[in-house]
Homo-oligomer: A and B are copies of this chain.
Amino acid sequence: MKMTADKENTEEKILEAAKEVFLEKGNDGTRMQEIADKAGINKSLLHYYYRSKEKLFAAVFKYAFSQFAPRIFSAFKDDEDFFALIRNFISVYIDIVSKNPFIPLFIINEINKKNTVFTNVIKMSGINPQVFKDRIQKEINNGKIKSIDPNQLIINTIGMCIFPVIGRPLIQVILFEDNKAEYDKFLESRKTEVADFIINSIKI
């Protein structure tokens, strides 16, 4: 029997290559040959370790989603001051999406095709927005923030974090004359700007 080190090495190389290609080009745009080339292996090995393109894609999707969605809510467990919590969450979240710019669009895309894969992944991911909602409602009840539908606040927040990343190529051209450095600065400053914007809106 061969050592598992080698096996895992190849299997790992495949998954890494698959991540790169799938995340950038989506399911339809991805060619198995390109993944094999990027992994530096024979195409047949893809089918040896993952049986089909669909299975390999599912593995990538699972990774992308687990990498992403849970972190959305993990930052919310603390018992910190609510505004500090918001500041921290937004800073962390913008940082994540900025460093993994392909993941949000990838997830949104595949979710918009009624791909059955994603439904299971979501259910399995144990996402629980109730923690969010409860905390927001608590702050409202305590008179710390204005009354607002928690769902609205949540979507506002995530929308402001994600949109500038997935719409980057367009926004960078229209608003920043395609100046990459300027846009990076813009994204960086959003870590505090968005938080300020939200807090200004909901504080009493």
Interface residue stretch chosen among A10-18, A37-45, A151-159: A151-159
Of residues 121 through 146 on chain A, the ones whose CB sits less than 8 Å from some CB of chain B are 122, 127, 129, 146
- Residue-wise, chain A 154-198 has the 8 Å CB interface mask toward B (1 for contact) of 111011101110111111011110000000001001100110011
CA distance A154 to B202 in the complex (A): 19
Interface residue stretch chosen among A1-9, A47-55, A78-86, A108-116: A108-116
Please count how many residues in chain A sit with their CB below 8 Å of the partner chain's CB atoms: 50
Task: Give every chain B residue within 8 A of A155 (Cβ-Cβ).
Answer: 160, 163-164, 171, 175, 190
CA distance A180 to B60 in the complex (A): 28
Contact of A146 (CB < 8 Å), options: B108, B122, B200: B200
A178's nearest neighbour on chain B, judged by CB, is: B119
The answer to whether B170 touches A111 (Cβ under 8 A) is yes
Of residues 10 through 29 on chain A, the ones whose CB sits less than 8 Å from some CB of chain B are 25-26, 28-29
Q: A28-B28, A163-B162, A174-B127 are in contact. Are A197 and B156 (CB under 8 A)?
A: yes
Task: Give every chain B residue within 8 A of A176 (Cβ-Cβ).
Answer: 151
Which A residues are closer than 8 A to B by beta carbons? 25-26, 28-29, 105, 107-109, 111-114, 119, 122, 127, 129, 146, 148-149, 151-152, 154-156, 158-160, 162-164, 166-171, 173-176, 186, 189-190, 193-194, 197-198, 200-202
Known: A28-B29, A155-B190, A162-B163. 18 other contacts (CB 8 A): A25-B113, A28-B28, A29-B113, A105-B112, A109-B109, A111-B167, A112-B168, A112-B169, A122-B170, A148-B193, A152-B190, A154-B175, A155-B160, A155-B163, A155-B175, A159-B164, A163-B163, A201-B201
